[in-house]
Chain A
Amino acid sequence: MAEAILEVRDLHKHYPLTQGILFKKQVGAVKAVDGVDFDLAAGETLGIVGESGCGKSTVAKMLVNLERPTSGSIRYKGDDITKLSPRALKAVRRNIQMVFQDPYTSLNPRMTVGDIIGEPYEIHPEVAPKGDRRRKVQDLLDVVGLNPEYINRYPHQFSGGQRQRIGIARGLALQPEIIVADEPVSALDVSVQAQVVNLLENLQTEFSLSYVFIAHDLSIVRHISDRVGVMYLGRIVEIGTDAQIYDHPTHPYTQALLSAVPVPDPEARAHRERIILTGDVPSPANIPSGCRFRTRCWKAQERCTLEVPLLAVPAVYRLTDSPAKHDSACHFAEEKHVVPTEEDTGNGGEGPGGNGGNGGEGMEANGGAGPKSL
């Protein structure tokens, strides 16, 4: 793996719950993020998936410093951005930009597109001198596939997909190294989602960006990500390369999540094993002891109530070369094949299906070799 540009260690965000009107006393905390670790290498895309309330958006906000962590560190090229002076922080912020989920509410309706995309230059005038800004904004519009002549239009004159392009242009304005994209396509129509995903991928190559891509759509995350982390109730429960996570998941939650995703292939209906979890995600104000997934887990035993499983390579796979050798926070981690993809495309019987299968194998082998070279 290339050198880590962003190192997140033991990140926590607790929102206090208070009682009383005059004398507020803390009676508990909503543990939105409760111990998250990951690295982001330069030029890579890290996908973060999880259900609503798992803390993935809070992580995103902390990465761009919109929320201050309760504890833990976020190191950007070695500097802990949670402890920087305001002046130093401003310089770092230029390099970590965000693209928001909802293109309808994240653009100011009273500002023209030119003002929206150019606003970052007001804060960081060193990037573009005043006389140069209009041209820069027009270049950005061109880069994201919008007509540069639209510079004086207002957000309501654009469709959802176009607005998201404006949001992306604003994120690119300061030539950042890292873009944190929080559900960037989930508010868009199916036929437009692919356009925006392609745009993000092209921009990554063109400007050598690193992405933290947060989403709940597992197929899009797989498509765009080099590595994927699965979050549950404030923690990463499993992390690895995309092939490791999707083809060789070892954590029961990942397995359930993957098996629950509707597959756009009616032939898969019959020979597909689905793990339907019972119940709902527990409240982050009242996290179960031990393993936080145990209340919905079919494997849970007494040990799971007592002992918090750590995010590490499971002991059974530690000495193997198996693609299941990646970090998983489960006492009883065991590989289980849940995504019926390769065989099914193979069943198609034609050339593309067979090639797909081989391609998959190749990727796994690379995935296995990656961590070893560390």
Chain B
Amino acid sequence: MLLEVRDLHVEFHTRDGVAKAVNGVNYSVDAGETLAVLGESGSGKSVTAQAIMGILDIPPGKISGGEILFQGRDLLKLKEDERRKIRGAKMAMVFQDALSSLNPVVSVGDQLGEMFRVHKGMSRKDARAKAVELMDRVRIPAAKERVGQYPHQFSGGMRQRIMIAMALALEPELIIADEPTTALDVTVQAQVMDLLAELQRELNMGLILITHDLGVVADVADKIAVMYAGKIVEQAPVHEIYKAPAHPYTRGLLDSIPRLDQKGQELYAIKGLPPNLLAIPPGCAFNPRCPLARDRCRIEEPPLYDVTESPVKRSSACHFWKECLHG
């Protein structure tokens, strides 16, 4: 297994109390595999990614438990200088907003070249040549002429390509893409997702795709982990989850997508609001919004049940997953 996250807990100490952003997350990615982490804002999907990358702000953040095994080694036990060698070289991240993630006063070529200068000790000239090569690889037209330009001179889609180029620079084994296409237009989004998928195949990388878009997930993912209030509530291969969700939250999300045959009818809407992380409801965190909720849900926190019924393994954190799966 390339990456395995085991029982990860992250909390933030704020003036108003302790916000439990991640409460026992388990997931794993293999080489060449795409795991989609699906969730709304505040579900803990990005915080988990930041903990894996080691770019969490500590303090106020604090990893209060768990393990992150990357190629068998627990990253949380490594020293900062050892993690630094892994970050960028073996795992890299693509951020959502390319304009604010790139340095506006350094040329694109220098920013790409920095990867090679810092990690590989290349000369300025060699690094620049490498930068051009990378820009070619992510299909930026006229790479040679544009390598000296600054981020504001590129369009949104091109900037996101540069972000991808930067993540790929040292051919890492794992890429974490945090909402890589959310800021892009549909036609450009399709271009960028295609590029990402193609490069992933070529380099046999593991990909963790963090998103809230059920459409993007269906297009590219192999398996899905659905997060709610800092927990994984359902994990399954992509086909199974869309066919028959085993958690009421997943079901609600899928049902709230407008569909052709429901035109003119009211959309299904999950009632209520995502929970406040300072005061997560006792029992199942989803119970105040859940149509299946009973007394048990308000008292007993559901574990991640094994709900495998077919040859493929899947799990759901709902006491009444059978009802959800079959009803």
Contacting residues, chain A, for B215 (C-beta < 8 A) = 261-264
A157 interface residue per 8 A CB criterion = no
Contacting residues, chain A, for B274 (C-beta < 8 A) = 159, 189, 191
B303 interface residue per 8 A CB criterion = no
Instruction: Tell me the complex Cα distance, A159–B274, Å.
Output: 9
Instruction: Tell me the complex Cα distance, A363–B258, Å.
Output: 16
A276 interface residue per 8 A CB criterion = yes
Which B89-116 residues sit within 8 Å CB-CB of chain A? none
Which B228-264 residues sit within 8 Å CB-CB of chain A? 238-239, 242, 252-254, 256-263
A134 interface residue per 8 A CB criterion = no
Do residues A345 and B191 form an inter-chain contact, with CB atoms below 8 A? Answer: no
Do residues B242 and A223 form an inter-chain contact, with CB atoms below 8 A? Answer: no
Which B186-233 residues sit within 8 Å CB-CB of chain A? 186-191, 193-194, 212-219, 221
Instruction: Tell me the complex Cα distance, A274–B266, Å.
Output: 30
* B261 in complex: contacting residue of A192, A219, A260, A353, CB < 8 Å: A353
* B185 in complex: contacting residue of A52, A202, A268, A345, CB < 8 Å: A52
Do residues A197 and B267 form an inter-chain contact, with CB atoms below 8 A? Answer: yes
Instruction: Tell me the complex Cα distance, A197–B263, Å.
Output: 12
B40 interface residue per 8 A CB criterion = yes
Do residues A341 and B254 form an inter-chain contact, with CB atoms below 8 A? Answer: no
Which A191-216 residues sit within 8 Å CB-CB of chain B? 191-195, 197-198, 201-202, 216
Given A219-B258, A280-B158, A353-B261, is A51 in contact with B218 using a C-beta cutoff of 8 Å? no
B305 interface residue per 8 A CB criterion = no
B78 interface residue per 8 A CB criterion = no
Identity of the chain A residue whose Cβ is nearest the Cβ of B189 in the assembled complex = A260
Contacting residues, chain B, for A360 (C-beta < 8 A) = 260-261
Contacting residues, chain B, for A149 (C-beta < 8 A) = none
Instruction: Tell me the complex Cα distance, A202–B264, Å.
Output: 11
CB distance from A341 to the nearest CB of B (A): 5
Contacting residues, chain A, for B190 (C-beta < 8 A) = 260, 262, 274, 276-277
Do residues A262 and B41 form an inter-chain contact, with CB atoms below 8 A? Answer: no
Q: Mark interface residues in A48-75 (1 if CB within 8 Å of B CB, else 0).
A: 0001100000000000000000000000
Identity of the chain B residue whose Cβ is nearest the Cβ of A162 in the assembled complex = B273
Identity of the chain B residue whose Cβ is nearest the Cβ of A224 in the assembled complex = B258
A27 interface residue per 8 A CB criterion = no
B151 interface residue per 8 A CB criterion = no
Interface residues on B, range: 35 or more
Contacting residues, chain B, for A277 (C-beta < 8 A) = 187, 190-191
Instruction: Tell me the complex Cα distance, A342–B261, Å.
Output: 8
Interface centre among B186, B190, B193 (most CB of A within 10 A): B186
Contacting residues, chain B, for A189 (C-beta < 8 A) = 40-41, 212, 274
Contacting residues, chain A, for B188 (C-beta < 8 A) = 51, 280
CB distance from A6 to the nearest CB of B (A): 23
Which B13-68 residues sit within 8 Å CB-CB of chain A? 40-41
Instruction: Tell me the complex Cα distance, A219–B263, Å.
Output: 10
Do residues A198 and B267 form an inter-chain contact, with CB atoms below 8 A? Answer: yes
CB distance from A50 to the nearest CB of B (A): 9
A127 interface residue per 8 A CB criterion = no
CB distance from B211 to the nearest CB of A (A): 10
* A216 in complex: contacting residue of B157, B186, B214, B266, CB < 8 Å: B186
Which A21-53 residues sit within 8 Å CB-CB of chain B? 51-52
CB distance from B176 to the nearest CB of A (A): 20
* A218 in complex: contacting residue of B155, B186, B221, B238, CB < 8 Å: B186
Identity of the chain B residue whose Cβ is nearest the Cβ of A50 in the assembled complex = B185
Do residues A265 and B218 form an inter-chain contact, with CB atoms below 8 A? Answer: yes
Contacting residues, chain B, for A339 (C-beta < 8 A) = 260
Do residues A345 and B218 form an inter-chain contact, with CB atoms below 8 A? Answer: no
B292 interface residue per 8 A CB criterion = no
Q: Mark interface residues in A212-253 (1 if CB within 8 Å of B CB, else 0).
A: 000010111011000000000000000000100010000000
A20 interface residue per 8 A CB criterion = no
CB distance from B214 to the nearest CB of A (A): 4
Given A223-B258, A360-B260, is A264 in contact with B214 using a C-beta cutoff of 8 Å? yes
Instruction: Tell me the complex Cα distance, A341–B259, Å.
Output: 9
Given A189-B274, A262-B213, is A352 in contact with B261 using a C-beta cutoff of 8 Å? yes
Do residues B256 and A159 form an inter-chain contact, with CB atoms below 8 A? Answer: no
B122 interface residue per 8 A CB criterion = no
Contacting residues, chain A, for B118 (C-beta < 8 A) = none
Instruction: Tell me the complex Cα distance, A235–B254, Å.
Output: 34
Instruction: Tell me the complex Cα distance, A363–B260, Å.
Output: 11
Do residues A266 and B268 form an inter-chain contact, with CB atoms below 8 A? Answer: no
Instruction: Tell me the complex Cα distance, A163–B268, Å.
Output: 20
CB distance from A241 to the nearest CB of B (A): 11
* A159 in complex: contacting residue of B238, B242, B273, CB < 8 Å: B273
B312 interface residue per 8 A CB criterion = no
Given A191-B40, A280-B157, is A264 in contact with B260 using a C-beta cutoff of 8 Å? no
Contacting residues, chain A, for B257 (C-beta < 8 A) = 219, 264
Interface centre among A194, A355, A357, A363 (most CB of B within 10 A): A194
Contacting residues, chain B, for A256 (C-beta < 8 A) = 187
B86 interface residue per 8 A CB criterion = no
Interface centre among B218, B257, B261 (most CB of A within 10 A): B261
Do residues A51 and B269 form an inter-chain contact, with CB atoms below 8 A? Answer: no
Instruction: Tell me the complex Cα distance, A351–B215, Å.
Output: 24
Instruction: Tell me the complex Cα distance, A265–B240, Å.
Output: 11
B325 interface residue per 8 A CB criterion = no
Contacting residues, chain A, for B269 (C-beta < 8 A) = 191-192, 194-195, 198
A267 interface residue per 8 A CB criterion = yes
A319 interface residue per 8 A CB criterion = no
Identity of the chain A residue whose Cβ is nearest the Cβ of B42 in the assembled complex = A189
Q: For the complex of A and B, list the 10 residue pairs with the smallest distance between their C-beta atoms, beginning with the closest.
A: A356-B261, A262-B215, A223-B258, A51-B185, A194-B256, A194-B269, A260-B190, A264-B214, A189-B40, A191-B270
Apart from A195-B269, A201-B266, A269-B218, list 11 A-B contacts with CB within 8 A. A52-B185, A189-B41, A216-B186, A261-B186, A262-B213, A266-B218, A269-B219, A274-B190, A341-B260, A356-B260, A356-B262
